Amino acid sequence: MKNTGEWKQIGKVKLAHGLRGEVYVLIFTGTMDWLEGLKKLKLMLSDSVHTIKTFKPYKKGLLIKIPGVDDRNASEALVGQLVSVPLEYLEAKDEDEFFLREVIDFRVQDSQWGDLGVVTGFGSNGVQDLLWVDLDGERLEVPLIDSMVPKIDFNSKCIQTTLPDGMLEFRYEI
Residues 85-127 pLDDT 10s: 877 776 655 556 677 778 889 999 999 999 999 999 888 777 8
- As a whole-number percent, the residues of the chain with pLDDT over 70 amount to 82
Backbone CA torsion sign across 123, 127, 129, 133: negative
User: Given pLDDT bands bounded at 50, 70 and 90, which one contains residue 56?
Assistant: confident
DSSP string, 67-79: TT--SHHHHHTTT
Please state whether 43 falls in left (phi above 0), alpha (psi between -120 and 50) or beta: beta
Distance, CA of 114 to CA of 150 (rounded, Å): 15
What domains lie within the chain, and their CATH numbers?
A: 7-90 (2.40.30.60), 100-171 (2.30.30.240)
Across the chain, mean pLDDT equals 83
Degrees (nearest 5) of the Cα angle 70, 73, 75?
Answer: 60
Q: What is the dihedral of CA 95, 99, 101, 102, to 10 degrees?
A: -10
